[in-house]
Amino acid sequence: MKKWFLLLAALIVIIVAGQQLQKDELQIITDDSKQKQEDISNIVIEVDKEQVNIGDLLLINGQHQLHPQGIASDLVTIDREGASAAGFVLANDELKLSGEMLASFEAMIAAAELDNVNQFLLTSGYRSLEHQAQLYEQEGSDYALPAGYSEHNSGLALDISSTMSKMEVAPEGKWLQQHGAAYGFILRYPEHKQDITGIAYEPWHFRYVGLPHSLIMQDRDLVLEEYIDFLSEQKQLTIKANDKTYTITYYNYEPQLNINIEDHVSYEISGDNSGGIIVTTTMEGVE
């Protein structure tokens, strides 16, 4: 009973935080002239080459193949009973996907329920490389991607539909495009970015990139390809939203790369699958 209470409490926190992010104005600071404070205590993180191919911000497309170590390490399986209890429907008997992404998805649809949007149907999540290879062989290049070139192989992509109508017109599709970024999700293949993604419009395909990256991408109308380029050009930027300050720093990987991080902040490290390392630190409270 205690375990379920803690899970419920965590879910409520994510829902409330997401709702607040929908209301708050995103403040992006790209000025890199901020003076370093020499008296701040730091920890040093040694980054190895494998990290380039691991994390929530991996670029996976026709030019960037997913490495096996890039598959989400927290894959979980959810069945129809579990999905029903969480407020959505599965198209198949079970689905496997990143546990972190599943928690954010469940918080997101709980928030959608408050807006009376509640007919979510999950049709696809994680696919093994072997399964992807079979799909490619059966369906051909017009309907499937080779193994390692589909985001579904990472465990960080979801095909989300509606039980009522097609996603391009369904309330579920419209709600997700408007509010999904507050929970770390982006519409991966929008209609007006086909020349950049190389993929036709897919109103059902959502990718988890986490906060604050989804907020920046939505604010600046960037797809993942553009966002990685944006970070590599900016090198560092600070985001203020929902009483949190996020600092994102981009590094070009080189052997024996050591990264200094203030020891009183939380941090996440992700590769971009194209030679870069992205460090995101989070500090509670906004001045």
Which are the catalytic amino acids?
202
- Give SS3 for 21: helix
Name the residue with tokens 């205590």.
Answer: 41
DSSP 168: T
Chain CA centroid to CA 250, Å: 17
Half-sphere exposure of 63 (CA within 13 A, CB side): 7
217 membership: H or E segment, kind and range: helix 213-220
Residue 22 CB burial class (10 angstroms; 0-12, 13-18, ≥19): middle
Q: Are strands 120-124 and 89-90 parallel, antiparallel or unpaired?
A: parallel
CB 161 within 8 A of CB 123: yes
Angle, helix 2-23 to helix 99-114, in steps of 10 degrees: 70
Beta carbons within 8 Å of 44's beta carbon, 6+ residues apart:
258, 259, 260, 261
Dihedrals phi, psi of 245, to nearest 5 degrees = -115, 120
Q: Which of 58, 21, 12 is nearest to 271 (CA)?
A: 58
Whether the upstream peptide bond of residue 255 has omega within 30° of 0, thus cis, is: no
Give the span between the Cα atoms of 208 and 188, in whole angstroms: 9
114 membership: H or E segment, kind and range: helix 99-114
